[in-house]
Amino acid sequence: MGKCEKKKLVLLDAHAILHRAYHALPDFTSPKGEPTGALYGFTAFLLKVIRELEPDYIAACYDLPEPTFRHIAYEKYKAQRPKMEDALAKQINRSRDILDVFKIPIYSLPGFEADDMLGTIVEKLQTKNYKLKTIIASGDLDTLQLVKDDDIVVYTLSKGIKDTVIYNEDKVKKRYGFEPKLLPDFKGLKGDPSDNIPGVPGIGDKTASLLIQKFNTIENLYKTIKKNKSALEKAGVKPRIIKLLEENEEESLFSKTLAEIRRDARIKFSLEETEWKKQFDIEKVKILFNELGFRSLIERLGDASKDSPWMLPRTVLGSEEELLHERFQGAVPEKLFREIEIPLSRVLSGMQERGILLDIEHLKKLSEEYHSKLKKLEKKIWVMAGEEFNINSPKQVGEILFDKLGLRVKRQKKTKNGSYSTNISELIKLKNEHPIINEIISYREFAKLVSTYIDALPKLVDENNRLHTTFDQAGTATGRISSKDPNLQNIPKRTELGRNIRRAFIAGKGFKLAAFDYSQIELRVAAILSKDSKMSEIFKKGEDIHSAVASKVFNVTPDKITAEMRRRAKVINFGIIYGMGINALKANLGCSREEAMIFYKEYFKNFNGMAEYVEHIKEFARKNGYTETLFGRKRFFPEINSPIEYVRKETERMAVNAPIQGTAADFIKLAMVRADKALGDKKLKSKARLLLQIHDELLFEIDEKIIGQCIPLIIREMEEVYKNDVPIKVNVAVGKNWEDMILYK
């Protein structure tokens, strides 16, 4: 342990850490099948705390499921939060076993939150005048109000469960402009949407911060309003704000009470029982880690013993590499892991940190416009139904469609309780039965986009109106990067509403957005992997792949190809690489089974190299239980030899697609790493910033002055990820927003 005048006590805000880990990590499971994603993150964080902070004492604080005094005082407190998912609840309970083997005591009390436990322990220690440095390890910033000088600090997670920052009093003042103890006053004015604390309507962060800096406490602010209102006007407070304050004095003071951490919970705290090192038993820890399936965490314990349990290997503990290794679970070869995944993790961190600029005013206008359209659509549906009902309620929709209107089709699925399903797939079966079906489908799609993007995104931006998504480089089975909180990969391109949402994503002043899109990358990958000579030749000549396939499948000269032929050829092209069979092609082409059979056979007759490749992949998967990408990334298929035909066929379909989609995913990942390095070598990264990855597209924000220098460089790095006879091509479009972009030549 490093030399320090004061011993260290770490207080774990266990609930907050587990919540953060649950949403930051995927759904790991133990060998027995119990959920462990949140537990893994919680445990990794605990080991990180032990290594980096070297605490002499550790205690953990928990929320309890029953209502607190805040819920009793204000029934809407945290009312907007969804019910805790069962998987998280189980892991919160299980986390107590982890603390038990580390001999870390737990503090909780009915009617109080974990924050109140933290506040009470801090108060008790100050009263007894212990010579301690207290470090509150938490997943949120509510505990910052407890910070005092350098003696009581908050060690918090700034992103996911990996990056941390320590707040002392100076750092809190730098962030907010006032002392930590005034944070409840700040929330009393601006409110806190995450906890449903109302505050003063119409007062936001900026105004609340100004008022606290000028008048300190809310009580002093109202005292000044009553005795010397002109002092507020002289301080630059607008009459409108003064009126809002006067009208909401009770709400403001009440909100402060809700935001204030209690320091008087009736708990017995003993510093001596938090001396975890004296009782820590590494063998019991290993037994539990094995039970939970935490192999990499056992390795992090290193040569720790009962005498020195905190001597953990600094080169490994808490490292991103270990977590990635755990997540890829042997599917990624070492070379791919070192050359792509590890450097990519740093690229993704930078993308998450910088975020993308949003046009908030544009979204506000869209919200007004589309809520009005939803109301009109709602009334139209009510007229068709002959009565008003909740269109968002599956139960009420079912009653209208199946009971009142009597709609039925063959093979209509039912829910677990026996009623007919109103899922979108089931509604599509009913499209020709009644015009109300199309309107309900439109309403649902419309409402989902409005709630998911138009209304939600403005609430998620930072103080600079930049939106930060979370990228997961191991989020899909094929190796594709996924996006969440919010998901920015699912905004539709082809609908008017989707295009209007994309217009809200804008470039900063002096910059432009540049979208780099791989041209037909999966079909090019299919040509590379299958070595089909005809398909490869089409790409080498720079011909349009869909028109060329249409010419061969429909046996016509290029000048005779119709738009419908090209459309069908496109369906066939993608159908083949997605492993579609005859029935799937029939459904997607909208033709008879006989026609689909002819198209299928004609395709493979012309592209026999692709036909051989498809059969080879199926056979390889049946023999080995997995398939591989060009770079050796594996995807496992345990059901490939299932005796159940439909299970086996579906698994074969996925097995055919996995190497193609996975190789395309490897290409885009490598392209991101290469482009990042090339821009860094030219010292251009601050002016050409990668913001988003959307499947085969990279979105950059580039300084207008150097666009001509950066675009060719990025194109080169993307197109040279793999050199082959089949050329890899990139298309580029540039504009001030993500939708209105012009092709760059």
Per-domain residue ranges of the chain: 1-172+263-322, 183-259, 360-467, 524-659
Confidence of residue 334 (pLDDT cuts 50, 70, 90): confident
Torsion of CA 420, 425, 430, 434, to 10 degrees: 100
Q: What is the pLDDT of residue 302?
A: 52
Residue 546 binned pLDDT confidence (cut-offs 50, 70, 90) = very high
**H/E stretch holding 188:** helix 183-190
- 693 forms beta bridges with 698
Q: Side chain identity at 493, as an amino acid letter?
A: K
The superfamily (CATH) of domain 524-659 is 5' to 3' exonuclease, C-terminal subdomain (1.10.150.20)
First-to-last CA distance in the chain? 60
- Mean predicted confidence (pLDDT) in 426-450: 87
Which two tokens mark 57? 């004492």
Mean pLDDT over 400-425 rounds to: 75
Token couple for 560: 């005779």
pLDDT of residue 307: 40
Q: Indicate if 524-659 has the same CATH topology as 1-172+263-322.
A: no
Q: Which two tokens stand for residue 462?
A: 């930072």
β-strand 511-518 against 697-703: which pairing, if any?
A: antiparallel
* Full DSSP string of 611-652: HHHHHHHHHHHHHHSEEE-TT--EEE-TTTT-SSHHHHHHHH
Determine contact, residues 530/616, Cβ cutoff 8 Å. no
- Answer yes or no: is pLDDT of 161 > 60: no
Q: Which CATH number fits domain 183-259: 2.60.40.10, 3.40.1160.10, 3.30.1600.10, 1.10.150.20?
A: 1.10.150.20
Q: Give pLDDT, residue 318.
A: 38
Residue 709's pLDDT band (cuts 50, 70, 90)? very high
Residue of 57, 102, 50 whose CA lies nearest to 314:
50
User: What CATH number does domain 360-467 carry, 1.10.1040.10, 2.130.10.10, 1.10.8.80, 1.20.1060.10?
Assistant: 1.20.1060.10
Count other C-beta atoms under 10 Å from residue 336's C-beta.
20
pLDDT band at 262, cuts 50/70/90?
A: very high
More confident position, 519 or 73: 519
**Most confidently modeled of 52-66, 468-482, 517-531, 623-637?**
517-531
pTM of full prediction above 0.85: no
What percentage of residues in the chain have a pLDDT greater than 90?
A: 46
pLDDT band at 152 (very low <50, low <70, confident <90, very high): very high
**Cα–Cα dist 675/714, whole Å:** 6
pLDDT at 332: 82
Q: Which pLDDT does position 305 carry in this prediction?
A: 37
> Token pair for residue 36?
């462990």
Judged by DSSP in three states, 442 sits in: helix
Is pLDDT at 304 greater than 60 in this prediction?
A: no
CATH number among 3.40.718.10, 3.40.50.1010, 3.90.1150.10, 3.40.640.10, domain 1-172+263-322: 3.40.50.1010
Segment 543-570 mean pLDDT: 90
According to DSSP, residue 109 is labeled -
By three-state DSSP, how is residue 506 classified? strand
Q: Which residue has the tokens 């320091």?
A: 263
Residue 168 confidence (pLDDT) above 50: yes
Note the pLDDT of residue 394: 85
Q: Is 47 helix (H, G, I), strand (E, B) or coil?
A: helix
What is the token pair recorded at 732?
Answer: 């580029």
pLDDT in tens, 202-218: 888 888 999 999 899 99
The residue that leads in pLDDT, 360 or 484, is: 360
